[in-house]
A and B are shown apart, each in its own frame.
Chain A
Amino acid sequence: MRVTKSAAIAAALSLTALTANAGTLEDVQARGELNCVVTTGLTGFAAPNADGKWEGFDVDFCRAVAAAVLGDGSKVKFVPSTGKTRFTLLNSGEGDILFRNTTETMSRDADLKLSFLPVNYYDGQGFMVNKALGVASAKDLDGASVCIQTGTTTELNLADYFRSNSISYEPVPIETNEEARTNYLAGRCDVYTTDASGLAATRATFEAPGDHVLLPEIISKEPLGGAVRHGDDAWFDIAKWVVNALIDAEELGVNSGNVAELGAAAGNNPSINRLLGTEGDMGAMIGLDKQWAARAISAGGNYAEIFDRNIGPSTAIALERGLNALWKDGGILYSAPIR
């Protein structure tokens, strides 16, 4: 009697330990809120605005996923993370999804047990220096002090690049972008290195952005994208196709302004009909309803709208589309067909 009881307790306990990892979609829907891991603050990508509301490129992808899954893009709880804590937060279940300008690499995919979503920003690692130093190339940086965020791929690229070019330097390790900004401006380091988009975003917050230049060298490929935990394919599919739907929407000319109209009834373009659920039932394949993509698009617009509003040429960060233009516009951004 006593034995069976304790065995039952043990079994129940081990079951709860296991069920914590199964069915992210069900967990999110039961909770009514999506836990999205973002940065502790990088203007343009993810940062709280003056009213304390999170804004940015990564934030809009979180909202699109929440809109598709929960029907409301505002039902997101943002979990701020440093470069070091992000994967632990995701893998321990604190977050359901990660959008934190994270570079996809083989070891992160296979060894850290992440599943990477389609790339949403093609980036590369650059260097920012004060104009007064008169540096024209990264090759001139011998002996410099370099501020670098720990726990990032940039840390490893930097070591590799300077080693292969026989350049000596003093690494100044720091935790967050904000710390890097203070140390760089105080002159603790001569150079700040991170993804070029991050440098542009950081520079936009300086009092005199014009005094600082990005060096021409881009020393790495940094395909940035979202990620989810390994092992939940259903959840991975949802996140993956929401990102694809936003890119597809730009290609098809669907935006937050016309999505309601186009989604009201089937039109002449079967691709648009499939995307917005007026023809077939793509949503059912990923466990959602027909309007999943329409909701994702109306949450923050298609890819172009998200890009332009947060980091595009008209913003302070002023990034060009460059590689991130659609494939038909000379970039390499490309969604697998939704059919």
Chain B
Amino acid sequence: MSTATVTADQRNVISRMWNDKENRSVIIQIIAFIAILAFFGFMGRNAVLNLEALGKGFSFDFLFQPASYDINQTLIEYDSRSPHLRATIVGIINTLLVAVCGIILATILGFILGVLRLSNNWITNRLAYVYIEYVRNVPVLVHILMVHGFIVHTLPIPKQAINFGDAAFLTNRGLFSPKPLFEPLFWIVFGLFVAGIIFTIWFRRYAKRVQDSTGKQYPVFWISLAAIIGLPFLSYFILGSPIEWQIPYLKGFNFKDGLVIRPEFIALWLALSLYTAAFIGENVRAGILAVNYGQTEAASALGVSRGRTLSLVVIPQALRVIIPPLTSQYLNLTKNSSLAIAIGYMDIVATIGGISLNQTGREMECMIIVLLLYLVISLLISASMNWYNKRIKIVER
């Protein structure tokens, strides 16, 4: 249809559609959408053409071929005859391990830093300030390399290991510590521990109900502690310590047996935690400052103790400010763990995105897998943090 045949009526329709604000925005969005599709279509086509020109197909069959390489840190059974798929799973577990450990340590350190930053003590306050400014203004990769370099270059070799009571040994090849071997009776202790947690959840609700109706208060904290920690501990000793500790010993080049935490894991874990903690510290400080001081004063005017003011007035409100940026920090930490490649920690990037990619030459397939894995992990973290955020946010009426 050429423009010459457009009647005056039709032209009218077009101009009316364009002049209508809502229609116009729909048209613009459709055009933008088509442009984006065309762009990705072109990139995809280009990739396919180039792969074809090189004579390389696109297939995930390689995942079921033997990987042929060894991995030093494997939490599941793995050897060089296992397929690439299993190497990938080993990588995922290693990434999750360092991410979870990192998030826990970073959160604890971050909350401590945030509180120290608000301290009235000048020295404490300044020390926390200097720490935060130093750590968050140096790239995390530098921190990782520095911690790793420190461990490898300053800690002794296995033959001169730092000895902790003949049970644990610290060397530049990692921390060798006793490994718990669980005997059948141990599962009773574990069962009591789980029961303690369930009891605590029920008891807290019950105590709240009693307080709401009668005003009577139970020592909830101490009773919870006794249920979760005390009882399992007691049963552990009554049952005759049903955990056998396998002690590492020096044989030949290295320590044998026991549990080994390798320098690569320690370096990555510490560096990521220390780095992210600085950011979390600032989030925590912001959260606490966001709660008007008048509320604390009001609470003390009502005779509420300092501890209860903190736990019932300040923290619940501060959390609402802290949680959303905290989610971003958790995501950052998880994604930054991919820098593991710099020190040879065998995470997702080093296994499927590194050695498997290189030995099979399947760049496209491997990078797609790596991308999807990080996406899924990040979305899961986001989802659970959003769920938590929803729980603690102000209930609007």
Contact = CB atoms under 8 A, between A and B. Distances in A.
Do A and B belong to a common assembly?
yes
Contact of A143 (B46, B68, B254, B360): B254
Contacts of B81: 163
B344 A111 contact: no
Nearest to A6: B38
A142 B256 CA distance: 11
Greatest chain A CB density within 10 A among B71, B80, B157 is at B80
A231 B54 contact: yes
Contact of B49 (A18, A113, A158, A173): A18
B251 interface: yes
Given A88-B363, A111-B360, A151-B355, A188 B46 contact: no
A150 B253 contact: no
B361 A156 contact: no
Given A143-B253, A144-B253, A190-B253, A113 B55 contact: yes
B174 to A, nearest CB: 9
B72 A144 contact: no
A156 B69 contact: yes
Contacts of A145: 173, 253-254
**Max count, chain B CB within 10 A of own CB: residue among A112, A145, A172, A173:** A173
Interface string B16-51: 000000000000000000000000001001100110
A113 B254 CA distance: 41
Contacts of A158: 70
A14 B69 CA distance: 39
Interface size class of B (residues with CB under 8 A): 35 or more
Interface string A86-130: 011001000000000000000110011100000000000000000
A143 B252 contact: yes
Given A160-B68, A171-B72, A150 B49 contact: no
Given A17-B50, A18-B53, A156 B344 contact: no
Best-buried of A17, A84, A155, A187 by chain B (most CB within 10 Å): A187
A40 to B, nearest CB: 14
B251 A174 contact: no
A21 interface: yes
B53 A21 contact: yes
A141 B253 CA distance: 8
B152 A188 contact: yes
B365 interface: no
Interface residues of A, number: 47
A113 B80 contact: no
B254 A150 contact: no
A13 B354 contact: no
B295 interface: no
Contacts of A169: 70
B146 to A, nearest CB: 14
A14 B42 CA distance: 9
A20, A21, A143, A162 — most chain B CB neighbours (10 Å)? A143
Residue among B49, B256, B344 with max Cβ neighbours from chain A (10 Å): B344
A88 B54 CA distance: 12
A177 B359 CA distance: 18
Interface in B90-125: none
Contacts of B360: 111
Contact of B72 (A141, A170, A183): A170
B267 to A, nearest CB: 11
B350 interface: yes
A172 B53 contact: no
B153 A173 contact: no
Nearest to A173: B344
A83 interface: yes
B307 to A, nearest CB: 48
Interface of A: 13-14, 17-18, 20-21, 83-84, 87-88, 91, 107-108, 111-113, 133, 141-145, 150-151, 155-156, 158-160, 162-163, 169-175, 182-183, 186-188, 190, 229-231
Interface of B: 42, 45-46, 49-50, 53-56, 68-72, 79-81, 152-153, 157, 172-173, 251-254, 256, 263, 341-342, 344, 346, 350, 354-355, 357-361, 363
27 contacts: A14-B46, A17-B49, A18-B49, A84-B357, A111-B360, A113-B54, A141-B253, A143-B252, A145-B253, A150-B350, A150-B358, A151-B354, A159-B69, A159-B70, A163-B80, A163-B81, A169-B70, A170-B254, A171-B69, A171-B72, A175-B342, A182-B152, A183-B152, A186-B152, A187-B172, A188-B172, A188-B263
Closest 9 A-B residue pairs measured CB to CB?
A: A151-B358, A159-B80, A112-B361, A187-B157, A144-B253, A173-B344, A143-B252, A171-B70, A84-B358
